[in-house]
């Protein structure tokens, strides 16, 4: 159905009296799959209430005119829009915690979007100008933009400040994202920058960025390819040739004690760079990605190691048996845990001429390896010439990085079993309740949810309505690192592993194989398997035009593997369900 905002009754999106549907008074607000048209010329302010039908779900939003439509309030479009189309002279303003998201593969196109008051925009973008509102001086709220799709083309980003967040989750984009001065200025005299991806690609991710008044590019911190910061927290004691020195007091030219494990001897190397930055935890993310520091209790590794509680970031590596292991893979919730009492903190790192095994708080760990995230830091103390090329673990690390389960799991359990030797251990985390039921269903382009008409352990059959040319395959998801253990270095959201898919219609049986091709639709993980592929819990499945001209069909799906899934992390869809 086609809804038009008329307003007048109230400012609330969920009030049916504010809407007309197909030219007549509406009896309910927009719902799944509906098209919504809003004329911006009257500058309407539309109130959203968290938890209500604050947004149309899986529909299309069209903003016309040349004014501003303000969405005000903390409702989230977690069930996601389809496309959002903004006329060239129109503006959408997200205010006071509004959260606008689009479905995978869908985008916001045209016009302008203002992100203000701790609001969030998460979508693909095509030719849209993004303006950030004033940053919250207290830091309690963040204006946030997440650019989802590789083909996105942001027209401009304006008024960016350090209180704002831009996420580039695409792994091919986010290696040491950095600013480049274009040498041009806008009409207000603001320098225009490009944002580059750090891989040496001369094509910018964003070709037009201006900063808020008084802000420079050195005020920003960019995460590396792990979306994390790898550092020591203040108070970490670094072993030098003279004594242990707090990381925040280290200076360029100081000599640190380095363990040369290949010769089994200690040597001294000068510090050539010291960096400092600041992190703010994002508690809505999984613990290992949120930015919480990891606390390693005194004696957690061995008696006297570390010799006091150690605080480092999740991706920071410890040295065991001539290998580096990220500390996040050793978190046991008792003697090694995410310290959730710390929500904002400074972090430090130091660099030697070559990557080194150094000692902090009595524990062997790593010096800084520039894998492309140096711009996350401000340089402390004296100025030194930075090394040229971005380095990598394979060619430049002081020791191999080992994230293989066969190596890490025995370490994990050995440290876990030391709990009786460690003072101050937390109570062992309760075992999480799990299920192997994937709750597999389909969602059509109209937003209708289709449940299986038949299912066995491995086979699901769905009745599809006429003219269905694509569906989304929806299921529970889990990350292997959560359901097996942090010693498994796989943090992907895994839905179900699907093998054969067959569509039966008009006495025909068609094999659907798009998920098995090298160029997969959105929501399918790349895999070495040839006859099976995992979804991420929300995967597109194109069906072409086999069900055109009023034909119905039965879609049969073979599930090769599923679960286990953490029950308390799963959410129920409140979309309309259609019986098969």
Q: What is the pLDDT of residues 459-490, one digit of tens each?
A: 999 999 999 999 999 999 999 999 999 999 99
Both 313 and 445 in a single domain? Answer: no
Q: Cis ω on the peptide bond leading into residue 306 (within 30° of 0)?
A: yes
- Do residues 185 and 203 lie in contact, with contact meaning Cβ atoms separated by under 8 Å? no
Same-domain check for residues 171 and 256: no
Predicted local confidence at residue 173, as pLDDT: 47
Identify the pLDDT of residue 78: 46
- The stretch 495-523 carries a mean pLDDT of 92
Contact 342, 292 (CB under 8 A): yes
Answer whether residue 197 shows pLDDT above 70.
Answer: no
- Comparing 1-15, 76-90, 562-576, the range with the smallest average pLDDT is 562-576
Q: SS3 sequence, 109-146?
A: ECCEEEECCCCEEEEEEEEEEEEECCCCCCCCCCEEEE
Residue count of the chain: 580
Two tokens, residue 277: 């930055």
Ranges 123-132, 142-151, 341-350, 403-412, most confident: 403-412
Asked whether the predicted pLDDT for residue 578 surpasses 60, the reply is: no
pTM, entire model = 0.60
Using the predicted structure, report yes or no on whether residue 292 has a pLDDT greater than 70: yes
8 A C-beta contact, residue 191 and residue 216: no
Cβ contacts of 300-308, under 8 Å, gap ≥ 24: 300/335, 300/336, 300/415, 300/418, 300/422, 301/363, 301/415, 301/418, 302/418, 303/421, 304/362, 305/362, 305/363, 306/360, 306/361, 306/362, 306/363, 307/361, 307/362, 308/237, 308/361, 308/362
Question: Is 447 found in the same domain as 363?
Answer: no
Q: What would the mean pLDDT of 70-93 be, rounded to a whole number?
A: 77
Query: What is the three-class DSSP state of 396?
Result: helix
Residue 193 shares a structural domain with residue 260: no
- For residue range 211-226, list pLDDT tens digits in order: 888 777 766 655 443 3
466: in domain: yes
Judge if 156 and 283 occupy the same domain: no
Looking at residues 519-544, what average pLDDT do you find?
90
Above 70 in pLDDT, residue 368?
yes
pLDDT of residue 245: 94
Which pLDDT tens digit goes with each residue over 112-160?
999 998 888 887 777 889 999 887 655 556 788 887 764 456 778 999 8
pLDDT digits (tens, 9 = 90+) for 265-283: 999 999 998 888 888 888 8
CA-to-CA distance for 418 and 406, rounded, in angstroms?
20
In this structure, the answer to whether residues 194 and 262 fall within a common structural domain is: no
180-184, 259-263, 302-306 — which is least confidently predicted?
Answer: 180-184
Q: What is the pLDDT of residue 580?
A: 30
250: domain CATH number is: 2.170.16.10
Q: In total, how many domains does the chain have?
A: 3
Which H/E stretch holds residue 430? none
Does 441 lie in the same domain as 416? Answer: no
Looking at the domain assignment, is residue 452 inside a domain?
yes
| Structural domain boundaries, residue 408 | 237-421
CA distance 455 to 579: 14
> Are residue 559 and residue 510 in the same domain, yes or no?
yes
Q: Where would I find the beta strands (DSSP E) of 229-342?
A: 237-239, 244-246, 255-260, 265-280, 294-296, 310-312, 317-320, 323-326, 336-338
Q: For 27-44, what is each residue's pLDDT tens digit?
A: 888 876 788 899 999 999
Give the pLDDT of residue 457: 85
Position 444 in a domain: yes
135 and 25 within one domain: yes
Residue 573 lies in a domain: no
Q: Which of 388, 421, 454 is the last residue of a domain?
A: 421
Q: Does one domain contain both 561 and 483? A: yes
pLDDT at residue 56 is higher than 60: no
Average pLDDT over residues 229-248: 84
**Given a cut of 60, is residue 384 above it in pLDDT?**
no
In the chain the first and final C-alpha atoms are separated, in Å, by 22
- Does residue 340 fall inside a structural domain? yes
Mean pLDDT computed over every residue of the chain? 83
Min mean pLDDT across 96-110, 225-239, 363-377, 458-472 is at: 225-239
**Looking at residues 313-332, what average pLDDT do you find?**
95
Q: Is the pLDDT of residue 333 over 90?
A: yes
Report phi then psi at 404, rounded to 5.
-70, 135
Q: Report the 10 Å Cβ neighbour count for 20.
A: 16
* Last residue within a domain, chosen from 400, 421, 442: 421
More confident residue, 15 or 355: 355
Decide if pLDDT at 8 tops 60.
yes
Per-residue pLDDT at 264: 93
Mean pLDDT of 290-313: 94
| Shared domain check, 281 and 177 | no
pLDDT in tens, 44-53: 998 876 444 4
pLDDT at residue number 565: 95
The percent of residues in the chain predicted with pLDDT above 70, rounded, is 83
Of 171, 191, 219, the residue that ends a domain is 219
Q: Please, which pLDDT band fits residue 402 given cuts at 50, 70 and 90?
A: very high
Q: What is the average pLDDT across 329-350?
A: 92
Name the band, by pLDDT with cuts 50, 70 and 90, for residue 176: low
Task: Answer yes or no: is 534 within a domain.
Answer: yes
Residue 550 has a pLDDT of 82
Residue with the larger pLDDT of the pair 245 and 171: 245
Residues 416 and 438 in one domain: no
Q: Answer whether residue 246 is part of any domain.
A: yes
Asked if residue 182 belongs to a domain, the reply is yes
């Amino acid at each position: 159905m086609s809804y038009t905002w008329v307003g007048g009754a109230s400012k609330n999106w969920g009030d049916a009296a504010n809407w007309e549907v197909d030219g007549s008074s509406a009896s309910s607000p927009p719902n799944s799959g509906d098209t919504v048209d809003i004329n911006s010329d009257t500058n309407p302010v539309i109130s959203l209430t968290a938890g209500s039908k604050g947004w149309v779900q899986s529909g299309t939003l069209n903003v016309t005119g040349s004014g501003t439509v303000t969405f005000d309030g903390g409702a989230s479009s977690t069930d996601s829009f389809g496309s959002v189309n903004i006329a060239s002279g129109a503006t959408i303003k997200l205010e006071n915690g509004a959260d606008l998201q689009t479905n995978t593969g869908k985008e916001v196109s045209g016009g302008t979007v203002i992100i203000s008051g701790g609001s969030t925009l998460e979508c693909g973008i095509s030719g849209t100008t993004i303006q950030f509102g004033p940053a919250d001086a207290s830091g309690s709220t963040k204006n946030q933009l997440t650019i989802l799709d590789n083909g996105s083309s942001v027209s401009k980003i304006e008024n960016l400040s350090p209180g704002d967040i831009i996420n580039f989750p695409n792994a091919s984009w986010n290696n040491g994202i950095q600013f480049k001065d274009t040498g041009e200025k806008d009409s207000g005299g603001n320098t225009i920058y490009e944002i580059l991806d750090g891989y040496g690609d001369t094509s910018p991710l964003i070709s037009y960025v201006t900063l808020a008044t008084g802000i420079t590019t050195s005020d920003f911190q960019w995460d590396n390819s792990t979306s994390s910061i790898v550092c020591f927290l203040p108070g970490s004691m670094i072993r030098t040739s003279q004594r242990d020195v707090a990381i925040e007091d280290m200076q360029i030219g100081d000599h640190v004690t380095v363990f040369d494990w290949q010769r089994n001897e200690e040597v001294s190397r000068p510090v050539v760079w010291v960096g400092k930055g600041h992190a703010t935890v994002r508690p809505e993310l999984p613990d290992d990605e949120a930015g919480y520091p990891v606390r390693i209790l005194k004696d957690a590794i061995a008696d006297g190691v570390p010799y006091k509680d150690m605080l480092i970031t999740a991706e920071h590596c410890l040295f065991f048996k001539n290998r580096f292991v990220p500390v996040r893979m050793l978190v046991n919730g008792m003697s090694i845990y995410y310290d959730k009492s710390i929500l904002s903190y400074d972090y430090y790192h130091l660099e030697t001429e070559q990557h080194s095994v150094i000692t902090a708080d009595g524990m062997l760990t790593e010096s800084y390896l520039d894998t492309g995230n140096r711009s996350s830091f401000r340089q402390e103390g004296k100025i030194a010439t930075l090394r040229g090329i971005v380095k990598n673990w394979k060619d430049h690390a002081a020791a191999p990085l080992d994230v293989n389960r066969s190596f890490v799991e025995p370490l994990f359990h050995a440290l876990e079993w030391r709990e009786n030797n460690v003072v101050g251990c937390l109570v062992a985390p309760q075992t999480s309740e799990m299920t192997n039921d994937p709750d597999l269903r389909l969602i059509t382009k109209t937003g209708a949810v289709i449940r299986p008409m038949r299912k066995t352990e491995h086979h699901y059959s769905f009745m599809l309505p006429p003219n269905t040319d694509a569906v989304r395959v929806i299921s529970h998801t889990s990350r292997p690192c959560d359901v097996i253990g942090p010693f498994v270095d796989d943090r992907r959201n895994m839905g179900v592993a699907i093998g054969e898919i067959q569509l039966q219609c008009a006495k025909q049986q068609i094999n659907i194989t798009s998920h098995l091709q090298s160029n997969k639709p959105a929501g399918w993980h790349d895999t070495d398997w040839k006859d099976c592929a995992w979804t991420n819990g929300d995967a597109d499945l194109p069906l072409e035009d086999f069900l055109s001209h009023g034909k119905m069909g039965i879609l049969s799906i073979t599930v090769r593997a599923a679960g286990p899934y953490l029950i308390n992390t799963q959410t129920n869809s409140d979309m309309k369900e259609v019986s098969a």
